Amino acid sequence: MAEVELWQHYRKMLFSRLFENAVQDLWEKGKISGEMHLGTGEEAIIVGVVSQLEQGDAIAVDHRGTPPFLLRGIDPVLLLLEFLGHSKGLCAGQGGHMHLFSKEHLIASSGIVGSSGPAATGFALALKYRKKRNIAVAFFGEGAINQGMMLESMNLASVWNLPVLFVCKDNDWAISTDTNDTRGGSLIDRAKGFGIEGYEVDGKDVEAVWKAANEAILKIRSDNRPQFIHAHCVHTEGHFLGDPLLRYQRNPTLLAEVAESLKEYPGDSLDEILLLFRKIGGQTKKKVDPIVIIQKKLKNDPDRLKKIEEEVSKEIEQIINKSLEISEGGIKNA
């Protein structure tokens, strides 16, 4: 990958991260209601794949739709207004952060676990009927790989020779369950069982993701055969904002209070809960931020890094200010 491309990827990844940091701030201030599932930690995967898509390609996303929607070119003000529940949002304030759609950009998201499989396969079937060279991409977590609809989608994509790229973003946790306790075998082998070629990559390294995605996408456009990418990543804020397990693990006082409250219950409740916290803590210590990884690759030009951060920060600030001005000055949906 040329250095100029790496700088472009860094800017996109940083934009996504700082936008979501701003979303987190608004959520913590109570301006955004309900759950909020961020894609912080997935930036390298999203940029590595979406940066190679062409006009007419389609994307089906899971409940962490913010990064792919931003990087596909959706107006960030419309996206933020949607999160704020405003009628001028991307989906008139009715979709929240999980159920999003843009016909213009051929991208849709859903909070239904595993639903990006059928959606992307449907996109691909339509593209095949229309005799387009375009492809469809499905983004999903490793918890979705056990869903029947995902497995059926992979099977149909293989049987019908559909141009689908299945991208599994694996952070080793399905909410509060270690996926090693619920997932048997290799995901690459699962894909091979459907006759789908697979690539296993470090999803924290945008160069590694870009290389695997480039090879997979070229094959799909050439052969109209599905491909599979298993990308290992992290979620820097747990399953959702305010994730209690992560909050307790980060605060020893809260953890001590939980342990004390569990002493009155019979059985192994205390030991099981404390073991879970230790496992969560172990994962937290192992986390490597994809933003830090790419910054280290570009550390020979610290002035340029600083300039990009300042530019992107200013851009995000303008987006937030404009969105809040519209939101606080207009009529919000109930």
Task: Say whether pLDDT at 334 is over 50.
Answer: no
Task: Say whether pLDDT at 32 is over 70.
Answer: yes
Mean predicted confidence (pLDDT) in 316-324: 97
Q: What is the pLDDT of residues 116-172, one digit of tens each?
A: 999 999 999 999 999 888 999 999 999 899 999 999 999 999 999 999 999 999 988
Mean predicted confidence (pLDDT) in 209-223: 97
How far is the C-alpha of 162 from the C-alpha of 136, rounded, in Å? Answer: 9
Give the CA angle between residues 283, 286, 289 to the nearest 5°.
Answer: 110
3-state secondary structure of 197: strand
Higher per-residue confidence, 330 vs 144: 144
Helix (H) or strand (E) holding 77: helix 76-83
Specify the DSSP class assigned to residue 59: E
Contact (Cβ atoms closer than 8 angstroms) between residue 144 and residue 174: no
Torsion of CA 221, 58, 109, 66, to 10 degrees: 90
Q: Which architecture, in CATH terms, is 3-18+36-236+287-321?
A: 3-Layer(aba) Sandwich (3.40)
**Unique residue bearing structure tokens 């296993």:** 200
pLDDT at 331: 44
Token readout for 315 is: 């851009």
Element counts in the chain: helices (H) and strands (E) = 13, 9
| Domain positions in the chain | 3-18+36-236+287-321, 244-284
Contact (Cβ atoms closer than 8 angstroms) between residue 199 and residue 216: yes
pLDDT at 114: 94
How far is the C-alpha of 231 from the C-alpha of 142, rounded, in Å? Answer: 9
Quickly state the pLDDT bin for 303 (edges 50, 70, 90).
Answer: very high
Give the CA angle between residues 136, 36, 102 to the nearest 5°.
Answer: 35
Higher per-residue confidence, 282 vs 66: 66
pLDDT at 34: 87
How far is the C-alpha of 97 from the C-alpha of 74, rounded, in Å? Answer: 13
Rounded to the nearest integer, the mean pLDDT of the chain is 88
pLDDT at 253: 62
Nearest CA to 49 among 120, 113, 114? 120
pLDDT at 234: 87
How far is the C-alpha of 102 from the C-alpha of 79, rounded, in Å? Answer: 11
**Unique residue bearing structure tokens 């030009």:** 301
Contact (Cβ atoms closer than 8 angstroms) between residue 24 and residue 241: yes
pLDDT at 172: 86
Task: Say whether pLDDT at 66 is over 80.
Answer: yes
